[in-house]
């Protein structure tokens, strides 16, 4: 379980996240929502050790995450994607997936000598990457550059690259941003399946989509938690409606239910 207690992130005189608490169980899909500037991405950056934490505690299965450097968190079970899919255009689709395994590969003398243990590790990693590509229906483009693929395919690859390391917690920052209506369902299905194997904490603005897949939604505003609960209770929370959902979105949701 990921445990976050009293986490505060300050940049000079600006408090981006203030005394924030959240518990993320071992499996399931959990969402962070809120207005622009609420501190959501800063919190994700703090959990992945990209942003410095001023105060508070972050633990994953008893391990003090704040003692880890940003390049170490994947090894201990925290992986992430970014708002914009960052692909290596000079590598193939398959090679981009394999990049997600770099923290598990042996380095130093043993890796340089390519001993049997290293060979088995590379073979197993390649088999896992190939299996992922087949699962995503991207096998036919495995030798292409990701730069030549539609944006929706790139987002799939970005999430898959984070998942191949088999993390305990996967942090997703607006995974559906920029996707078309035709591209979204495949990624929804993939994330829903991944949520049965690990914990997923995701930032997403498409509230209607979260109502389909999220077990719990946490709402932030001005760096603080203002509500937390099941999607239906969050939808009905007056403070959430006031500062985030707005009466227009609330009315549209009620119309759908009545219809």
155-176 confidence digits (pLDDT tens): 889 998 888 888 999 999 999 9
Query: What pLDDT score does 250 carry?
Result: 47
194-235 per-position pLDDT tens digit: 999 999 999 998 899 999 999 999 999 999 999 999 999 999
| Token couple for 43 | 């919190």
Q: Is the pLDDT of residue 124 over 90?
A: no
- The span from the CA of 208 to the CA of 98, in Å, is 33
- The span from the CA of 191 to the CA of 189, in Å, is 6
Instruction: Write the class of the CATH domain 2-258.
Output: alpha beta
Q: Where are the beta strands (DSSP E) in the chain?
A: 2-11, 14-24, 28-33, 55-60, 63-64, 78-80, 169-173, 199-203, 216-221, 224-229
- The span from the CA of 118 to the CA of 104, in Å, is 11
- The span from the CA of 66 to the CA of 55, in Å, is 10
43-95 per-position pLDDT tens digit: 999 999 999 999 999 999 999 999 998 888 988 999 998 877 778 899 999 99
Strand partners of residue 176: none
Q: At what angle do helices 116-135 and 151-163 cross, to 10 degrees?
A: 140
Global pTM value: 0.85
99-113 per-position pLDDT tens digit: 888 765 544 434 444
């Amino acid at each position: 379980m990921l445990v976050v207690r009293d986490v505060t992130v300050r940049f000079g005189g600006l408090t981006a996240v203030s005394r924030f608490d959240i518990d993320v169980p071992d499996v399931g899909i959990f969402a962070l929502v809120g207005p622009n500037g609420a501190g959501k991405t800063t919190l994700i950056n703090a959990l992945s050790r990209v942003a410095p934490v001023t105060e508070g505690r972050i633990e994953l299965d008893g391990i003090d995450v704040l003692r880890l450097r940003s390049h170490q968190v994947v090894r201990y079970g925290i992986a992430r994607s970014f708002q914009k899919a960052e692909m290596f255009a000079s590598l193939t689709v398959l090679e981009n997936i394999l990049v997600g395994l770099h923290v598990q590969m042996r380095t130093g003398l043993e890796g340089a000598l390519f001993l049997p243990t290293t060979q088995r590790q590379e073979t197993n990693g390649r088999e896992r990457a190939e299996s992922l590509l087949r699962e995503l229906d991207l096998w036919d483009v495995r030798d292409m550059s990701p730069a030549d693929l539609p944006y929706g395919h790139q987002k799939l690859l970005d999430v898959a690259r984070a998942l191949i390391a088999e993390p305990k917690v996967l942090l997703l920052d607006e995974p559906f941003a920029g996707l078309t209506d035709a591209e979204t369902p495949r990624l929804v299905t993939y994330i829903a399946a991944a949520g049965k194997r690990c914990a997923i904490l995701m930032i997403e603005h498409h509230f209607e989509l979260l109502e389909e897949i999220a077990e719990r939604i946490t709402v932030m505003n001005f760096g603080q938690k203002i509500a937390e609960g099941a999607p239906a209770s969050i939808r009905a929370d007056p403070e959430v409606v006031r500062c985030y959902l707005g009466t227009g979105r609330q009315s549209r949701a009620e119309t759908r239910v009545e219809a």
